[in-house]
Amino acid sequence: MKTVKISSSRYPSLLKQISDPPQQLYYKGKWDSKLFKNCLAVVGARQMTGYGRRATNELVAKIASMGVTIVSGFMYGVDAQAHRAALSVGGKTIAVMPCGIDVIHPSHQKKLYEEIIAANGLIISELETNHPPALWIFPKRNRIVAGLSKAVLVVEAGFDSGSLITADLAKKFNRKLLAVPGPITSSLSQGTLQLIKNGADLASDANDILVNYGLNYQEYSMNRFSAAGLNKLERGIIDKLTQEPKDIDTLSRLVNISISDLGATLSLMQLRGIVTKEKDKYHFIQEKVC
C-alpha cells in the first residue's frame, strides 16, 4: 500500500493550500512530483452529448500534448473522456477516485484504470484502499480534483450537475474557472452558460485555457512539427488526429484535399511512423514528433 502524507515534501503543494486538505493520499502508479506542476481539472456531465465528447477530445488532447496533467474523477461521461483524450496523445492524467484505489468504479472502466497506470499516470484517493463508493464521497472527492489544479474546466453541466460543486470549489480555492459554451437548446449547456454569465472564462479553444499556464498551442505545435520536418498538409492532418482518430473520408473533408492525394500522404506518414491505421481509422503517434 503506497501513501503520501501531508507532512511529506512529496505532497502536492497546491492541494496543501486548501482549507481541508486530505491528511494522506493512497495511490497506484508512479508518483512523480512533476505531475503536479501544471494540472488542469476537467469535469462535466456523465450523460455527455456528442458535442461534449468532441469538445473534450479537441481541448484536452491539445492541452495534454503540451505537458499539462489532466485531473478528473474517473466517472463515465466527461471525466472518462478527459482521461482518454490525455492518454491518446501520450499525456499524463490523474484519476481521483470516489472510492478506495483498489476498487474500480465504475467497474466497466477497468481498461481505462489500467491504461492510466501503464502510462505513468496516477490513481489516487484519500480513502482506504477497499473503501466502497458512496454518494457522500463524490462532493468530498471534488475538493481534491479542484485543489490539485491551477484551473478547472467545465465542459457540459446541467443546472443540478455535480460539476457545479467543483466549479464552486474552484472559486473558493481561488483557481481559474473556465466553461465551454454550448447550444442554448441543450439542458447540458445550461449550467456552463450560467457559469459564464457569472464570470467564468469562456473556453472555445485550447489557448483560452493554456494562457493560464503561460503556454500557446499554435506556437508549440508549429515549432514541434516543423522541427520534425512536417509540411503544411502533414501538420494539418496531425492537428485533426490529435482531437481523435479519424477515417480517411472525414480527414479528406477536414483538410480539404482529395481522398487519393490524402491517401498517398497518409501512406508516407505511416512509413515514417507518424500515424498508424487501426480499424479504418488513422491515429497520431505522439512520441514520433516529440
Kindly report, residue by residue over 212-232, the tens digit of the pLDDT: 999 988 777 667 666 677 888
Kindly report, residue by residue over 88-118, the tens digit of the pLDDT: 889 999 999 999 999 999 999 999 999 999 9
Whether 61 shows a pLDDT value over 80: the answer reads yes
Question: Do residues 81 and 167 share a domain?
Answer: yes
pLDDT of residue 219: 76
pLDDT of residue 241: 87
Question: Do residues 186 and 68 share a domain?
Answer: yes
Q: What is the mean pLDDT of residues 45-73?
A: 94
Question: Do residues 107 and 222 share a domain?
Answer: no
Q: Output the domain CATH number for residue 65.
A: 3.40.50.450
Closest C-alpha among 115, 121, 46 to residue 79: 46
Question: Do residues 235 and 272 share a domain?
Answer: yes
**Is residue 285 a contact partner of residue 274, using CB atoms and an 8 Å limit?**
yes
Domain limits for position 72:
2-213
Q: Which run of H or of E encompasses 164?
A: helix 163-172
Domain boundary among 213, 238, 260: 213
Closest C-alpha among 48, 64, 59 to residue 243: 59
Domain boundary among 213, 239, 258: 213
Question: Do residues 208 and 245 share a domain?
Answer: no
Q: Output the domain CATH number for residue 252.
A: 1.10.10.10
Q: What is the mean pLDDT of residues 168-179?
A: 97
How many percent of the chain have pLDDT more than 70? 96
pLDDT of residue 272: 85
Strand order in the sheet with 201-202: 2-5, 24-29, 122-125, 93-96, 69-72, 39-43, 151-154, 176-179, 201-202
Question: Do residues 151 and 78 share a domain?
Answer: yes
Q: What is the mean pLDDT of residues 41-46?
A: 96
Question: Do residues 83 and 196 share a domain?
Answer: yes
Question: Do residues 244 and 158 share a domain?
Answer: no
Question: Do residues 244 and 204 share a domain?
Answer: no
DSSP string, 203-220: -SSHHHHHGGGT--HHHH
pLDDT-derived band at 273 (thresholds 50, 70, 90) equals: confident
Question: Do residues 222 and 204 share a domain?
Answer: no
Question: Do residues 55 and 195 share a domain?
Answer: yes
Domain boundary among 213, 230, 259: 213
Domains contained in the chain, number = 2
Whether 287 shows a pLDDT value over 60: the answer reads no
Question: Do residues 268 and 141 share a domain?
Answer: no
